[in-house]
Structure 1
Amino acid sequence: MCPGRVEATRRCGPRSRRARFPGRVGTSRRNAYGGPKVGYAFVYTVIDDHSRVAYTEVHDDETAVTAVGFLHRAVDWFADRGVTIERVLSDNGGAYRSYLWRDNCEALSITSKFTRPYRPQTNGKVERFHRTMADGWAYARCYTSEQERRDALAGLLHQYNHHRPHTACDNQPPFSRLINVPGQYS
């Protein structure tokens, strides 16, 4: 599993303005009162390493509490499909370095690993999925509101997991590689 995050409303990465000028005013993801900035969305993603099945949620912040809540929902979602999460590869964000994240991973019997700093290639499956999401969902059309965009995510996930051919799965959709889904053979 590879949880990751992407800010769906702006560019980020090693060539972004934020990366080039880390100390500049206005680069904080918090407003003047400590709350999340308006217009920013954080997409949390878990991708099964074998099947490439993806689970994603959009949130307004990237705190440890939000990340842990997402992890628990992802574990339950994958368990319903017969997949047990053993390891999690995440970036080096503060949410994933927190004691709360570490303790919850231990409680769920999950080994937590981290990507190399400034090496998005280490988390390539999630990075590529985020590019697919950007092209097919986040910037695919003009949305009238952030809520409308978030509501459209379920359709993209269904298309990606159940219908879109994936080269790593012999041009079959990722869900075809899950062979022990409850109720699949009844």
Structure 2
Amino acid sequence: MRLRREHRLGPVRLAARTGIAASTAHRVLVRHGLPPLAACDRATGEPIRRYERARPGELVHIDVKKLGRIPDAGGHRTQGRTQGRTQGRTQGRTQGRAQGRRNRTGAGYTYLHTALDDHPRLAYTEHLPDETAATCATFLRRATAWFATHGITIQRVLTDNAWAYTKTTWRATCHQLGITPRWTRPWRPQTNGKVERFHRTLAEEWAHIRPYTSEAQRQAAFPDWLDWYNYHQPHTGIDGQTPASRVTNLSEQHT
């Protein structure tokens, strides 16, 4: 128990330190009522208190995921690592540095901006070229309009403390839309964990699910995946319901 408190160790590493079986270490932790490390705050070791807003619109989580673009004709997944990297470097030299930062393939990045409602987990995502304050602010306007078509009025938005979300542009846009901005506490990224978990699901089930041959092909597949996530796929975080099923006054039915 002392090793767990002081070093944040799980059963396998505790077993190695103490010379007992990992299954025994697990039983000791359970007997003393300690949750898995994944359910604890990494800084304090205290259990993370899960919460959920009572109604749609009370709180919308917003975050950006930077995703490396796929070069034309595909990257190493479709051509093999050596050929994919060579083509990426050639394409990067041809296009030049003037088009902004590049990933290692030379194709640059796309920025996935997501607004996810805390209660139903309904998600709105756009592919945008950057994460500047102006881009984030205009995304919020479109996200607010999209949620409104589903009968949801956004009351609060929660973001991390990234530069774009702390500027006057973001605050002014929230004020104009009648939205209260909120920010996560420093060093507590799990506060915005729902949208980060969505981005992980997005990466696993869409972005990296198969070897796309181009960025255009991958982006073309995204609307169908997002529709599946919102309207058809059971969500384990809401007892197997779909996000759309938790929203009242839907403007249309998806079948």
Q: TM-score when scaled to structure 2?
A: 0.60
Provide, for residues 116-155 of structure 1, a one-character-per-residue CA deviation record: whole Å limited to 9, x for no partner: 2333211110111011001001111111111221221111
* Pair 1:78 & 2:137 matched: no
1:9-28 equivalent positions in 2, closer than 5 A: 9=68
Residues in 1 aligned to 2:163 and 2:68: alpha-carbon distance in whole angstroms: 21
What corresponds to 2:100 in structure 1? Answer: 35
Higher relative contact order (CA 8 A, sep 6+): 1
- Give, as a single letter, the amino acid of the residue that structure 1 aligns with 2:214: S
Provide, for residues 5-47 of structure 1, a one-character-per-residue CA deviation record: whole Å limited to 9, x for no partner: 111229xxxxxxxxxxxxxxxxxxxx95473534211111111
Residues in 2 aligned to 1:62 and 1:183: alpha-carbon distance in whole angstroms: 31
* Regions of 4+ moved over 4 Å: 31-34
- Give, as a single letter, the amino acid of the residue that structure 2 aligns with 1:8: L
CA shift in 2, pair 1:141/1:183, >3 Å: closer
Residues in 2 aligned to 1:97 and 1:111: alpha-carbon distance in whole angstroms: 13
Q: Which of 120, 128, 131 is residue 197 of structure 2 equivalent to?
A: 128
What corresponds to 2:164 in structure 1? Answer: 95
Q: Name stretches of at least 5 consecutive residues in structure 1 with no aligned partner.
A: 11-30
Provide, for residues 73-132 of structure 1, a one-character-per-residue CA deviation record: whole Å limited to 9, x for no partner: 100000000001000001111111111111000000111111123332111101110110
What corresponds to 1:7 in structure 2? Answer: 66
CA shift in 2, pair 1:117/1:171, >3 Å: same
* Pair 1:69 & 2:128 matched: no
Q: TM-score when scaled to structure 1?
A: 0.82
**Pairwise CA RMSD:** 1.9
SS in 1 for 2:221: helix
Residues in 1 aligned to 2:242 and 2:116: alpha-carbon distance in whole angstroms: 14
Residues in 2 aligned to 1:117 and 1:7: alpha-carbon distance in whole angstroms: 21
What corresponds to 1:109 in structure 2? Answer: 178
What corresponds to 2:124 in structure 1? Answer: 55
User: Which moves more between the two structures, 40-49 or 115-124?
Assistant: 115-124
- What is the percent sequence identity of the aligned residues? 50
Q: Which has the higher helix share?
A: 2
Residues in 2 aligned to 1:43 and 1:141: alpha-carbon distance in whole angstroms: 19
Instruction: Check conservation: 1:36, 1:60, Cα contact below 8 A.
Output: no
Residues in 2 aligned to 1:115 and 1:89: alpha-carbon distance in whole angstroms: 7
Q: Based on CA coordinates, which of the two structures has the bigger radius of gyration? A: 2
Matched positions, count? 164
- Give, as a single letter, the amino acid of the residue that structure 2 aligns with 1:7: K
CA deviation after TM superposition for structure 1 residue 169, in Å = 2.7
